[in-house]
Homo-oligomer: A and B are copies of this chain.
């Protein structure tokens, strides 16, 4: 139904080949006069090239797939923003998929596999995996991506993965976590509760390892390591559970306050968990940072408007998205890259 190139060509009195050459960047450029005729015919008819047909003929789609966990999470949306930016400069469109959305049922990780398969089906020029990699990658995922790469597709992951040949944007999760602990200790804090994410998520696990490593360096044992979902609610619920585990849930657990001599700091595996933790603490009447301190990881943009400010390890999220997209869209580009806070 839309007007096609054939019609433009006929309208301009030239062949299909010529029309194609003037309208879409070909190496051959028809004479100025002809070109003008074709252009105005296209303009007049409101011609818009069919990218699907072009993709088929050129065997490159101008699409880049981005897999995030939850686009509504500030961490991922900041990255997505950066990806979009870089995609635009390379004239690519972004295909977005979120793995937090229940697929047609199935085990966790199925959503990611489905997303990747969809992207492969659309023959995206590259796929960016921003959702945190799993400790045990799904072999089907690995197989699909390997084949994709073999066929000329590019894959970049944020953080290491078990996917051979994928380019990786290394993030200073472990080092950052350790550094954060060191900074907090310098501030005089020596009692920590670690709010860990799901163990199978590499990002979450590695950060906790970094925390523990940092603490070990200072000869400190954490008061506890509690696990929760990698979300605000996860941080909130885990914090509540922890407090309850401390004793009478009606009263403010004494251990959390200064009573014991030094302030306690809740060290969350990421900012949204930290924010959830703060909400939980407040709901129990604890003041932040007077009674309890809280630290996070990521420096999500929305922190800007939080008060009191969260102590956090700052990651250049948007820049990370941009870098990942650049790595993905540069045919012979960098195979790896790393970012620090």
Q: Does A220 contact B (CB under 8 A)?
A: no
Instruction: Name the one of B85, B103, B117 contacting A48, with C-beta atoms under 8 angstroms.
Output: B117
Determine whether A290 belongs to the interface, using a CB cutoff of 8 Å to chain B.
no
Residues of B within 8 A of A117 (CB): 48
Contact A305 B318 (CB under 8 A): no
Give the CA-CA distance A85 to B100 in the complex, in Å.
Answer: 10
**Least Cβ–Cβ distance between A292 and chain B, in angstroms:** 14
- Residue A121 contacts which of B49, B97, B119 (CB distance < 8 angstroms)? B49
A interface residue count range (under 10 / 10 to 19 / 20 to 34 / 35 or more): 35 or more
Nearest CB of chain B from residue A2's CB, rounded to whole Å? 5
Q: Which of B74, B276, B305, B318 contacts A276 (CB 8 A)?
A: B305
Is A72 in contact with B74, judged by CB distance below 8 angstroms?
Answer: yes
Which A residues between 1 and 32 are near B, CB-CB below 8 angstroms?
1-2
Is A71's CB under 8 angstroms from B61's CB?
no
Q: List the B side residues contacting A278 at CB < 8 Å.
A: 305, 307
Q: How far is the CA of A267 from the CA of B53 in the complex (A)?
A: 50
Q: Is the C-beta of A88 less than 8 angstroms from some C-beta in chain B?
A: yes
Whether A282 pairs with B307 at a CB distance below 8 angstroms is yes
Does A134 belong to the interface (CB within 8 Å)?
no
Q: Which residues of chain A in 103-127 are interfacial with respect to chain B, using CB atoms and an 8 Å cutoff?
A: 103, 117-123
Give the CA-CA distance A77 to B81 in the complex, in Å.
10
Pick the residue among B49, B56, B95, B123 that contacts A93 (CB under 8 A): B95
User: Which one, B77, B276, B279, B306, contacts A72 given CB within 8 A?
Assistant: B77
A318 — nearest CB in chain B belongs to which residue?
Answer: B72
User: For residue A317, which residue of chain B has the nearest CB?
Assistant: B72
Query: In the complex, A72→B85 CA distance in Å?
Result: 12
By DSSP majority rule, is chain A's interface helix, strand, loop, or mixed? helix
Assuming the contacts A52-B52, A72-B77, A120-B48, asked whether A94 and B93 have C-beta atoms less than 8 A apart, the reply is no
From A72, which residue of chain B is reached at the shortest CB distance? B81
CB-contact partner of A279 in B77, B103, B150, B305, under 8 A: B305
Q: A53 to B50, Cβ gap below 8 A?
A: no
A232 to B, closest residue via Cβ: B305
- A51 CB contact (under 8 Å) in B72, B123, B301: B123
CA distance A122 to B56 in the complex (A): 12
Give per-residue flags for A284-306: 1 if the beta carbon is below 8 A from chain B beta carbons, else 0: 00000000000000000110111
Is A209 located at the chain interface by the 8 A CB criterion? Answer: no
A46 interfacial by beta-carbon distance below 8 Å: yes
Residues of B within 8 A of A1 (CB): 150-152
A152, chain B: closest CB distance, angstroms: 6
A78 contacts B by Cβ under 8 Å: yes
Q: Which residues of B contact A327 (CB under 8 A)?
A: none
Which of B56, B84, B95 touches A71 (beta carbons < 8 Å)? B84
Q: How far is the CA of A71 from the CA of B317 in the complex (A)?
A: 13
Report the separation of the CA atoms of residues A144 and B2 in the bound assembly, to the nearest whole angstrom.
11
Counting from the closest, the 3 A-B pairs by CB-CB distance are A275-B305, A77-B77, A72-B81
